[in-house]
């Protein structure tokens, strides 16, 4: 059973990591499920707790941007510039894997995703532990990332040793992932740092390397959790879709950047940055209502709109069987 630790119980958490245990901790993006990145058994336990296929590489967290050279086999000029500009912060750099990172951590790849998180509790833990910490988002495979300690307990309470409770995560969506192993930066996942910011630092375009969901217009539907189906729609479609589904007897909820008389509904900020902060907690809240359908209207503006749309497309995409 998980033990919940206050955010200053750093020594207990660091000793647990050193002993090969699993410790969930807050970052500025989402809660991570931490393990010693150099310990194959600890890393294997992370995959088991998450129910995640072992070929999916984990992100490695460092305390100090200066430690990049210690764990990367080579650091390109692009990687160096981005680390200097955005660390600590919500940017993961995929670089050639160097010493101290177990092959199991990265699913046998020759590369590793590394970031320095911008959160005082995460940084205290990383400093006290004194080495690289592998940490995927602290949720079961296939569910949305946790942005509070309660979310971690919901998903993994029976499967991990500790969670450091640092309150809600301020960014709310995961880090941006950029492959900087070559001379061209490749965007693998939009996230907490917007692509134009990255482009202005490296002075070159970022190549879109996403193989992800098709950017189809109209509606996409899927199951992101046991009961609710998510439909991503434009603001002016929402009322008709809700009415149709409700007329057919479905229990329907709405998540939108505007107030609505429909119940249940959750109003999020129209700016994507504020929308992102609340998004995962809101999806979990909607799911707890036992709805058949959750209609979601995206934010209309803001730097993090790409990241929010990406997560909404994923929530609404048909799941692989
Ligand atoms: O904000 C975040 O990045 C959070 C916090 C905890 O730091 N972590 C996170 O980790 O989102 P995770 O494991 O849930 O997502 C990691 C993603 C996966 O989609 C994985 O495929 C990709 O990063 N990734 C990790 N290492 C990679 C590598 N070497 N090459 C390509 N993709 C990689
Ligand atoms: Mg994840």
In a 10 Å sphere around its CB, with 0-12 CB exposed, 13-18 middle and 19+ buried, how is residue 156 labelled?
buried
Percent of the chain with pLDDT over 90: 88
| Cβ of 43 below 6 Å from ligand 1 | no
Contact 162, 5 (CB under 8 A): yes
Three-class secondary structure of residue 314 per DSSP = helix
Instruction: State yes or no: cis peptide before 235, omega within 30 of 0.
Output: no
Ligand nearest to the CA of 142: 2
Q: How far apart are CA 153 and CA 275, in angstroms?
A: 23
| Cβ of 96 below 6 Å from ligand 1 | no
Query: Is residue 217 pLDDT above 60, yes or no?
Result: no
Q: How far apart are CA 116 and CA 268, in angstroms?
A: 29
Task: State the average pLDDT over residues 97-103.
Answer: 95
CATH class given for the domain over 3-208:
alpha beta
Rounded to the nearest 10 degrees, what angle do helices 10-18 and 120-129 cross at? 50
Please report, for residues 86, 180, 189, the alpha-carbon distance to residue 109 in angstroms, rounded to integers and kept in the order given: 25, 15, 18
- Give residue 221's pLDDT: 62
- Give residue 227's pLDDT: 66
Pocket test for ligand 1, best of 43, 59, 97 (most atoms within 8 A of CB): 59
pLDDT tens-digit readout, 36-47 = 999 999 999 999
| Cβ of 135 below 6 Å from ligand 1 | yes
Three-class secondary structure of residue 308 per DSSP = helix
- Give residue 141's pLDDT: 87
Instruction: State yes or no: cis peptide before 76, omega within 30 of 0.
Output: no
Task: State the average pLDDT over residues 92-102.
Answer: 96
- The radius of gyration computed from the CA coordinates of the chain, to the nearest angstrom, equals 20
- Closest among 215, 229, 311 to 268, alpha carbons compared: 311
Start-end of CATH 3.90.870.10 domains in the chain? 3-208
Q: How far apart are CA 54 and CA 44, in angstroms?
A: 8
Strand order in the sheet with 293-296: 221-223, 229-232, 293-296, 252-256, 265-267
Q: Which band of pLDDT confidence, cut at 50, 70 and 90, is reported for residue 218?
A: very low
Tell me which H or E stretch contains 3. strand 3-5
Q: How far apart are CA 237 and CA 296, in angstroms?
A: 10
Contact 254, 266 (CB under 8 A): yes
How many Cα atoms within 13 Å fall on the side-chain side of residue 9? 17
In a 10 Å sphere around its CB, with 0-12 CB exposed, 13-18 middle and 19+ buried, how is residue 262 labelled?
middle
Compute, in angstroms, the gap from residue 135 CA to the centroid of ligand 2: 9
Nearest CA to ligand 1 atom 6: 32
Ligand nearest to the CA of 172: 1
Counting from 1 in the atom list of ligand 1, the atom nearest the Cα of 56 is 21
Nearest CA to ligand 1 atom 29: 112
So what's the architecture of 229-316 in CATH? 3-Layer(aba) Sandwich (3.40)
Compute, in angstroms, the gap from residue 102 CA to the centroid of ligand 1: 16
Q: How far apart are CA 122 and CA 126, in angstroms?
A: 6
Q: How far apart are CA 314 and CA 173, in angstroms?
A: 13
Pocket test for ligand 1, best of 103, 136, 178, 314 (most atoms within 8 A of CB): 136
Largest separation between any pair of C-alpha atoms in the chain: 61
pLDDT tens-digit readout, 60-79 = 999 999 999 999 999 999 99
pLDDT tens-digit readout, 160-210 = 999 999 999 999 999 999 999 999 999 999 999 999 999 999 999 999 998
Pocket test for ligand 1, best of 24, 52, 57, 106 (most atoms within 8 A of CB): 57
Start-end of CATH 3.40.50.11030 domains in the chain? 229-316
Cα dihedral sign for 91, 95, 97, 98? negative
Q: Provide φ and ψ at 86, rounded to 5°.
A: -120, -5
pLDDT, mean over the chain: 94
């Amino acid at each position: 059973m998980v033990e919940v630790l206050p955010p200053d119980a750093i020594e207990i958490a660091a000793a647990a990591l050193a002993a090969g245990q699993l410790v969930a901790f807050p970052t500025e993006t989402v809660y991570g499920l931490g393990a010693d990145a150099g310990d194959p058994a600890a890393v294997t336990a992370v995959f088991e707790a998450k129910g995640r296929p072992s070929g999916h590489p984990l992100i490695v967290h460092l305390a100090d941007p200066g430690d990049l050279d210690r764990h990367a086999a080579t650091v390109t000029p692009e990687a160096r510039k981005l680390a200097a500009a955005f660390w600590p912060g919500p940017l993961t750099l995929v670089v050639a894997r160097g010493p101290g990172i177990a092959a199991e951590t990265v699913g046998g790849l020759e590369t590793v995703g590394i970031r320095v998180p911008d959160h005082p509790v995460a940084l205290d833990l990383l400093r006290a532990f004194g080495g690289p910490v592998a940490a995927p988002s602290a949720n079961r495979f296939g569910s949305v990332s946790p942005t509070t300690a309660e979310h971690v307990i919901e998903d993994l309470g029976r499967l991990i040793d500790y969670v450091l409770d640092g309150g809600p995560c301020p960014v709310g969506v995961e880090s941006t992932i950029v492959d900087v192993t070559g001379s061209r930066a490749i965007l693998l996942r939009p996230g907490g740092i917007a692509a134009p910011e990255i482009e202005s630092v490296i002075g070159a375009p970022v190549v879109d390397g996403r193989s992800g969901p098709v950017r189809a217009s109209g509606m996409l539907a899927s199951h992101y959790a046991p009961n609710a189906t998510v439909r991503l729609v434009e603001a002016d479609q929402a009322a008709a879709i809700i009415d149709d589904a409700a007329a057919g007897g479905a229990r329907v909820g709405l998540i939108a950047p505007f107030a609505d008389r429909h119940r249940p509904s959750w109003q999020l900020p129209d700016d994507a940055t504020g929308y992102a902060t609340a998004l995962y907690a809101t999806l979990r809240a909607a799911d707890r209502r036992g709805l058949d359908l959750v209609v979601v209207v995206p934010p209309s503006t803001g730097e993090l709109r790409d990241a929010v749309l990406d997560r909404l497309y994923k929530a609404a995409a048909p799941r692989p069987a």
